Amino acid sequence: MNRRTFLVTALAGTGALALGVNLYSPSYVGVNKHLNSEHQLLFSLLVPVFLDGALPQTESLRVAAQNRTIDAIVATMALLPTDARDELEQLLTLLESRLGLLLLTGSMTPLLLRTPNELIEMLEKWRSSYLDMMVTAYQGLRELVVASYYACPEHWGRLNYEKPILFS
């Protein structure tokens, strides 16, 4: 076997393996299709990371705030211009596929199986990346999560903000 044949065979084998892993979806990873269709499961992982320190300390209040924020994110995404929504959908779809994760993060480990510290490390790499695309992805996700959290009036109290009274 010459060197060229070896390299082509190794490249083809690696590509086939990556494609197979990307297409393989074990049954135990299956989640609620409704949550998957609106990327709510992905945002349930990202919201606590982006809102670290802003969420309430009490577990039940924290879960309620996370769920309310995810609902606000879904509502916000529906209002985005078509181009922005399409780009965001592409990013979220890449984050939900293993091949996309490999391209974006250098690891095929699903985000569900990563610890919060690993997610923070991934997002910090994006934030300080030399590629503008990665920085834009980080900023887009962060702004979407933070803006959706503070768009909910029940979270304004943490900012010491009161709704203006029009008629007193």
Residue range 60-109, pLDDT digits in tens: 888 988 999 999 998 998 899 999 999 999 999 888 888 888 888 888 88
Instruction: Return the closest-CA partner of residue 159 out of 54, 48, 59.
Output: 54
pLDDT reading at 22 higher than 70 = no
Contacts 24+ apart (CB under 8 A), 75-81: 75/148, 76/144, 76/147, 76/148, 76/151, 77/38, 77/144
Name the band, by pLDDT with cuts 50, 70 and 90, for residue 146.
very high
Return d(Cα 4, Cα 44) in angstroms, integer.
46
User: Over 60: is that where the pLDDT of 35 sits?
Assistant: no
Higher pLDDT, 19 or 78: 78
Query: What is the per-residue pLDDT across 111-125, written as a single tens digit (0 to 9) for each?
Result: 888 898 999 999 999
The answer, yes or no, to whether residue 30 has pLDDT greater than 70, is: no
Q: Is 32's pLDDT higher than 70? A: no
Residue 159 pLDDT more than 60?
yes
